[in-house]
Protein backbone atom coordinates (compact mmCIF):
# COMPACT_ATOMS: atom_id res chain seq x y z
CA UNK A 1 0.00 0.00 0.00
CA UNK A 2 1.75 3.18 -1.22
CA UNK A 3 -0.74 6.05 -1.19
CA UNK A 4 1.37 8.36 0.94
CA UNK A 5 3.59 11.22 -0.08
CA UNK A 6 6.79 12.23 1.65
CA UNK A 7 5.98 14.20 4.82
CA UNK A 8 6.42 17.92 4.17
CA UNK A 9 4.47 19.37 7.09
CA UNK A 10 6.48 18.01 10.02
CA UNK A 11 7.91 21.47 10.90
CA UNK A 12 4.36 22.84 11.08
CA UNK A 13 3.30 19.77 13.08
CA UNK A 14 6.15 20.42 15.49
CA UNK A 15 4.97 23.99 16.07
CA UNK A 16 1.37 22.92 16.57
CA UNK A 17 2.52 20.07 18.80
CA UNK A 18 4.55 22.50 20.89
CA UNK A 19 1.49 24.71 21.42
CA UNK A 20 -0.65 21.68 22.30
CA UNK A 21 2.00 20.48 24.72
CA UNK A 22 2.29 23.85 26.43
CA UNK A 23 -1.48 24.06 26.82
CA UNK A 24 -1.72 20.52 28.20
CA UNK A 25 1.14 21.12 30.61
CA UNK A 26 -0.32 24.36 31.93
CA UNK A 27 -3.66 22.66 32.44
CA UNK A 28 -2.05 19.87 34.41
CA UNK A 29 -0.08 22.28 36.56
CA UNK A 30 -3.15 24.43 37.19
CA UNK A 31 -5.13 21.37 38.28
CA UNK A 32 -2.34 20.39 40.65
CA UNK A 33 -2.25 23.86 42.21
CA UNK A 34 -6.02 23.90 42.68
CA UNK A 35 -5.87 20.49 44.30
CA UNK A 36 -3.18 21.68 46.71
CA UNK A 37 -5.25 24.74 47.59
CA UNK A 38 -8.15 22.55 48.67
CA UNK A 39 -5.94 21.04 51.37
CA UNK A 40 -7.06 17.47 50.82
CA UNK A 41 -5.65 15.10 53.42
CA UNK A 42 -6.21 11.93 51.43
CA UNK A 43 -3.20 9.90 50.35
CA UNK A 44 -2.96 10.01 46.57
CA UNK A 45 -0.46 8.77 44.05
CA UNK A 46 1.56 11.90 44.64
CA UNK A 47 2.12 10.86 48.23
CA UNK A 48 5.37 9.16 47.26
CA UNK A 49 6.86 12.30 45.81
CA UNK A 50 9.08 14.59 47.82
CA UNK A 51 7.10 17.68 48.75
CA UNK A 52 10.02 20.08 48.64
CA UNK A 53 10.00 23.06 46.32
CA UNK A 54 12.85 21.50 44.36
CA UNK A 55 10.83 18.35 43.74
CA UNK A 56 7.81 20.37 42.61
CA UNK A 57 9.99 22.35 40.21
CA UNK A 58 11.46 19.15 38.81
CA UNK A 59 8.05 17.52 38.32
CA UNK A 60 6.60 20.66 36.73
CA UNK A 61 9.49 21.04 34.32
CA UNK A 62 9.52 17.34 33.48
CA UNK A 63 5.80 17.30 32.78
CA UNK A 64 6.20 20.34 30.55
CA UNK A 65 8.88 18.58 28.49
CA UNK A 66 6.77 15.43 28.22
CA UNK A 67 3.67 17.40 27.20
CA UNK A 68 5.59 19.24 24.47
CA UNK A 69 7.10 16.02 23.08
CA UNK A 70 3.72 14.28 23.08
CA UNK A 71 2.15 17.34 21.49
CA UNK A 72 4.69 17.17 18.65
CA UNK A 73 3.86 13.47 18.13
CA UNK A 74 0.13 14.23 18.04
CA UNK A 75 0.63 17.19 15.70
CA UNK A 76 2.68 15.02 13.34
CA UNK A 77 -0.04 12.37 13.32
CA UNK A 78 -2.74 14.92 12.52
CA UNK A 79 -0.85 16.60 9.68
CA UNK A 80 0.34 13.34 8.13
CA UNK A 81 -2.91 11.40 8.29
CA UNK A 82 -5.34 13.89 6.73
CA UNK A 83 -3.72 14.23 3.27
CA UNK A 84 -2.99 10.51 2.80
CA UNK A 85 -6.52 9.63 3.88
CA UNK A 86 -7.93 12.12 1.39
CA UNK A 87 -5.74 10.65 -1.37
CA UNK A 88 -6.77 7.11 -0.52
CA UNK A 89 -10.49 7.93 -0.42
CA UNK A 90 -10.26 9.93 -3.67
CA UNK A 91 -8.73 6.92 -5.42
CA UNK A 92 -11.43 4.62 -4.08
CA UNK A 93 -9.00 2.44 -2.10
CA UNK A 94 -11.35 1.12 0.57
CA UNK A 95 -8.94 -1.35 2.15
CA UNK A 96 -6.13 1.18 2.17
CA UNK A 97 -8.39 3.76 3.79
CA UNK A 98 -9.35 1.31 6.54
CA UNK A 99 -5.66 0.50 7.08
CA UNK A 100 -4.82 4.18 7.43
CA UNK A 101 -7.71 4.64 9.86
CA UNK A 102 -6.71 1.70 12.08
CA UNK A 103 -3.03 2.67 12.06
CA UNK A 104 -3.98 6.23 12.99
CA UNK A 105 -6.23 5.01 15.81
CA UNK A 106 -3.52 2.77 17.28
CA UNK A 107 -0.92 5.54 17.00
CA UNK A 108 -3.25 7.88 18.88
CA UNK A 109 -3.84 5.24 21.56
CA UNK A 110 -0.08 4.83 21.96
CA UNK A 111 0.40 8.58 22.40
CA UNK A 112 -2.37 8.72 25.01
CA UNK A 113 -1.05 5.72 26.97
CA UNK A 114 2.52 7.01 27.03
CA UNK A 115 1.41 10.49 28.08
CA UNK A 116 -0.80 9.13 30.85
CA UNK A 117 1.90 6.75 32.10
CA UNK A 118 4.48 9.51 32.30
CA UNK A 119 2.19 11.90 34.15
CA UNK A 120 1.16 9.19 36.62
CA UNK A 121 4.73 8.10 37.32
CA UNK A 122 5.89 11.69 37.70
CA UNK A 123 3.14 12.41 40.23
CA UNK A 124 3.42 9.12 42.09
CA UNK A 125 7.15 8.71 42.56
CA UNK A 126 10.36 10.64 42.40
CA UNK A 127 13.97 9.57 42.20
CA UNK A 128 17.21 11.40 41.64
CA UNK A 129 17.13 12.22 37.89
CA UNK A 130 19.90 10.96 35.62
CA UNK A 131 20.76 11.48 31.98
CA UNK A 132 18.43 8.57 31.16
CA UNK A 133 15.49 10.41 32.68
CA UNK A 134 16.17 13.21 30.22
CA UNK A 135 16.86 10.97 27.23
CA UNK A 136 13.99 8.48 27.49
CA UNK A 137 11.13 10.95 26.78
CA UNK A 138 12.93 12.15 23.65
CA UNK A 139 13.66 8.61 22.46
CA UNK A 140 10.04 7.61 23.04
CA UNK A 141 8.86 10.78 21.32
CA UNK A 142 11.08 10.13 18.30
CA UNK A 143 9.63 6.64 18.01
CA UNK A 144 6.10 8.02 18.24
CA UNK A 145 6.84 10.58 15.53
CA UNK A 146 8.19 7.78 13.31
CA UNK A 147 5.02 5.74 13.86
CA UNK A 148 2.90 8.79 13.01
CA UNK A 149 4.99 9.75 9.99
CA UNK A 150 4.77 6.30 8.40
CA UNK A 151 1.03 5.80 8.66
CA UNK A 152 0.00 4.33 5.30
CA UNK A 153 3.12 2.23 4.72
CA UNK A 154 2.66 -1.24 6.19
CA UNK A 155 6.27 -2.36 6.57
CA UNK A 156 7.66 0.95 7.82
CA UNK A 157 4.73 1.58 10.15
CA UNK A 158 5.07 -1.83 11.80
CA UNK A 159 8.84 -1.38 12.02
CA UNK A 160 8.34 1.99 13.72
CA UNK A 161 5.72 0.52 16.07
CA UNK A 162 8.13 -2.29 16.96
CA UNK A 163 10.85 0.22 17.82
CA UNK A 164 8.38 2.14 19.99
CA UNK A 165 7.44 -1.04 21.85
CA UNK A 166 11.11 -1.89 22.43
CA UNK A 167 11.79 1.56 23.89
CA UNK A 168 8.63 1.51 26.01
CA UNK A 169 9.52 -1.92 27.41
CA UNK A 170 12.97 -0.67 28.40
CA UNK A 171 11.45 2.51 29.88
CA UNK A 172 9.06 0.49 32.05
CA UNK A 173 11.95 -1.73 33.18
CA UNK A 174 14.02 1.33 34.07
CA UNK A 175 11.11 2.75 36.07
CA UNK A 176 10.82 -0.51 38.00
CA UNK A 177 14.52 -0.44 38.86
CA UNK A 178 14.28 3.12 40.12
CA UNK A 179 11.08 2.49 42.05
CA UNK A 180 12.62 -0.46 43.90
CA UNK A 181 15.25 1.90 45.31
CA UNK A 182 12.63 4.28 46.71
CA UNK A 183 11.43 4.51 50.28
CA UNK A 184 7.69 5.03 49.77
CA UNK A 185 5.36 6.84 52.14
CA UNK A 186 2.61 4.30 51.45
CA UNK A 187 4.12 0.83 50.80
CA UNK A 188 0.77 -0.66 49.77
CA UNK A 189 0.13 1.95 47.07
CA UNK A 190 3.76 1.75 45.99
CA UNK A 191 3.51 -2.01 45.46
CA UNK A 192 0.29 -1.52 43.51
CA UNK A 193 1.95 1.00 41.23
CA UNK A 194 4.93 -1.28 40.68
CA UNK A 195 2.53 -4.04 39.70
CA UNK A 196 0.92 -1.72 37.14
CA UNK A 197 4.29 -0.81 35.61
CA UNK A 198 5.35 -4.48 35.54
CA UNK A 199 2.16 -5.52 33.73
CA UNK A 200 2.57 -2.70 31.22
CA UNK A 201 6.13 -3.85 30.51
CA UNK A 202 4.88 -7.38 29.84
CA UNK A 203 2.10 -5.99 27.63
CA UNK A 204 4.66 -4.06 25.59
CA UNK A 205 6.80 -7.16 25.08
CA UNK A 206 3.81 -9.30 24.15
CA UNK A 207 2.60 -6.76 21.60
CA UNK A 208 6.17 -6.43 20.29
CA UNK A 209 6.20 -10.11 19.28
CA UNK A 210 3.05 -9.64 17.21
CA UNK A 211 4.30 -6.35 15.73
CA UNK A 212 7.61 -7.83 14.57
CA UNK A 213 5.80 -10.82 13.06
CA UNK A 214 3.46 -8.58 11.04
CA UNK A 215 6.36 -6.37 9.96
CA UNK A 216 8.26 -9.36 8.57
CA UNK A 217 5.13 -10.78 6.99
CA UNK A 218 4.44 -7.49 5.19
CA UNK A 219 7.81 -7.74 3.43
CA UNK A 220 6.96 -11.04 1.77
CA UNK A 221 3.17 -11.25 1.63
CA UNK A 222 0.53 -8.87 0.30
CA UNK A 223 -2.45 -9.40 2.62
CA UNK A 224 -4.33 -6.07 2.50
CA UNK A 225 -7.37 -7.18 4.51
CA UNK A 226 -5.23 -8.61 7.29
CA UNK A 227 -3.04 -5.49 7.42
CA UNK A 228 -6.20 -3.40 7.74
CA UNK A 229 -7.29 -5.18 10.92
CA UNK A 230 -3.85 -6.05 12.33
CA UNK A 231 -3.40 -2.69 14.14
CA UNK A 232 -6.65 -3.31 16.04
CA UNK A 233 -5.39 -6.78 17.00
CA UNK A 234 -2.16 -5.25 18.28
CA UNK A 235 -4.11 -2.73 20.37
CA UNK A 236 -6.32 -5.50 21.75
CA UNK A 237 -3.25 -7.53 22.76
CA UNK A 238 -1.77 -4.60 24.68
CA UNK A 239 -5.01 -3.52 26.32
CA UNK A 240 -5.93 -7.06 27.40
CA UNK A 241 -2.55 -7.65 29.09
CA UNK A 242 -1.76 -4.20 30.49
CA UNK A 243 -2.88 -2.46 33.66
CA UNK A 244 -2.76 1.14 32.42
CA UNK A 245 -6.08 0.95 30.56
CA UNK A 246 -7.91 -0.30 33.63
At 161, is the secondary structure helix, strand, or coil?
A: helix
- How far is Cα 15 from Cα 241, in angstroms, rounded to an integer? 35
At 130, is the secondary structure helix, strand, or coil?
A: coil
Q: Identify the band that residue 32 occupies on the pLDDT scale cut at 50, 70 and 90.
A: very low
Residue-wise pLDDT tens digits, 173-193? 888 887 777 776 667 777 778
b/e burial code for range 130-159 (CB count within 10 A of at least 16 → b): eeeeeebbebbbbbbbbbbbbbbbbbbbbb
Query: What percent of the chain is helix, strand and coil (3-state, nearest 5)?
Result: 80, 0, 20
Residue-wise pLDDT tens digits, 77-105? 999 999 999 999 998 889 999 999 999 99
- The answer to whether 180 touches 152, Cβ cutoff 8 Å, is no
pLDDT value at 145 more than 50: yes
Amino acid sequence: MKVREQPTLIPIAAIVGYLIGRTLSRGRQGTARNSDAQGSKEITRAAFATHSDGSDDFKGGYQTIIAIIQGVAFGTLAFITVPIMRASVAKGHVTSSVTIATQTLVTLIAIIIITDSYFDLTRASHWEPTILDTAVPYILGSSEVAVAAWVGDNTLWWAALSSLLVVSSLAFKYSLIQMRAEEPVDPVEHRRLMKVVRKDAVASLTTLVFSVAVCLLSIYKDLPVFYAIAPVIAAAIFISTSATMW
